[in-house]
Amino acid sequence: MEDKSKRLKHVMIFEDMKKKIFTEDIKPGDKLPSENELAKKYNVSRQTVRKAIANLESAGYAYAEHGRGTFCSEMLAHTKSSKNVAVVTTYLSDYIFPHIIKGIDEVMEKYGYSIMLKSTNNSRTGETKSLEELLTKDIEGLIIEPSKSHIYCNHTSYFKKLDEFGIPYVFIQGKYVQMKDKPHVLIDDEKGGYMVTKYMLEKGHRNIVGVFKSDDEQGQKRHRGFVRALNEAGVMYDPDNIIWFYTEDRKSHPYNGIKQMINDGKEFDGIVCYNDQTAMMVIRALSECGIKVPRDVSVTGFDNAQRGNQVGLQLTTIAHPQEELGAMAAEMLMNMIKGNECEKQILIDPVLIEGDTCR
């Protein structure tokens, strides 16, 4: 039976070498260090090194020349006529994403293109793996929703590879701060957060709680709009009135956070939520504590995901043109593929939808 520590070591060497290739520490055509050199560097046997090199060759990152050594390969030989584009989103079947993908697919089908779907589960590791795989595929373009877009991106080398190979890409739903000038289609999240908060303030609410997602650009910008509306209305911003949650606890923390506020005796008359999914969790927590919406507390969402009907309420929310956003991104990408002039940064104006969750 293969020794587990050796197996892990050759995987570690494989991953480290692959990273060096993507960051261009090792460039196409460069000769890789010899087995002896690698064995000494990683403090392993030549047999372990040999397995790592074999995996690099098998994955297309390296090739051997008899009598000369092993070299870094070009990795790809794009034909530019594959009629394939890739779509990478944080989720595939959850929430608003099927509608976004539908909008993309309808445009691509019109142009005779097929789409390759990838999901990252809003994980940086998942995004890196998806990009690694796509860089070995024959694609003509990419539409990508960045994972945890508010966190500094440390894998920009993959996007540089796309640039190097002449593969255009479009960001949707968010963008990394280092690539803010890259092509993108976004809804104006800050304005949307401002609009729902101002709406609640105009209804007479003054003690408003905010529930926002911390690790993506949408959550940060919706919070920024929330703060701006409070400031304009002369209402002091209280950080203790904010519940921040992350991707990993998105299905529990908004619910538990509101319950904790209630148990602590905190008084509030309104709650502005990151999205409709979050709003429904908040409404459930309020209901279980005997608090009625909107009689006792008003609640707003974001995205118009039509989930309010499940509890007999129609959320006051911000319209999210899901299919339209996908279609706009697809049209932008097709123009880039064909070399046509087009607008490459689109900010969609939000629209408030009045429901019955605000008194």
Q: State pLDDT tens for residues 29-87.
A: 899 999 999 999 999 999 999 999 998 988 778 999 988 999 998 765 454 578 999 99
Assigned superfamily of 189-320: Response regulator (3.40.50.2300)
**Mean pLDDT across 339-354:** 95
Spatial distance between the Cα atoms of 329 and 355, rounded to a whole number of angstroms? 29
pLDDT of residue 27: 84
Q: In what order do the strands lie in the sheet with 270-273?
A: 242-245, 208-213, 270-273, 298-300
Residue 308: band (very low, low, confident or very high) from pLDDT cuts 50, 70, 90 = very low
Could you name the CATH architecture of 4-72?
Orthogonal Bundle (1.10)
Cα distance between residue 33 and residue 124, in whole Å: 29
Q: Where are the domains of the chain?
A: 4-72, 84-187+322-348, 189-320
Whole-model pTM?
Answer: 0.82
In terms of DSSP bridges, do strands 317-319 and 298-300 run parallel, antiparallel, or are they unpaired? unpaired
Question: pLDDT category, 153, cuts 50, 70, 90?
Answer: very high
Strands 345-348 and 184-187: parallel
CA nearest 44: which of 52, 32, 54? 52
- State residue 310's pLDDT score: 55
Q: What value does the mean pLDDT take over residues 195-204?
A: 98
Which amino acid does the sequence have at 137?
K
CATH fold for the domain made of 84-187+322-348: Rossmann fold (3.40.50)
CA-to-CA distance for 321 and 302, rounded, in angstroms? 11
Whether the CB-CB separation of 70 and 63 falls below 8 Å is answered with yes
Whether 321 has a pLDDT exceeding 50, the answer reads yes
Which one has a higher pLDDT value, 143 or 29?
A: 143
User: Do 221 and 258 touch, CB atoms closer than 8 A?
Assistant: no
Domains 84-187+322-348 and 189-320 fall in the same CATH topology: yes
What does the mean pLDDT of the chain come to?
92
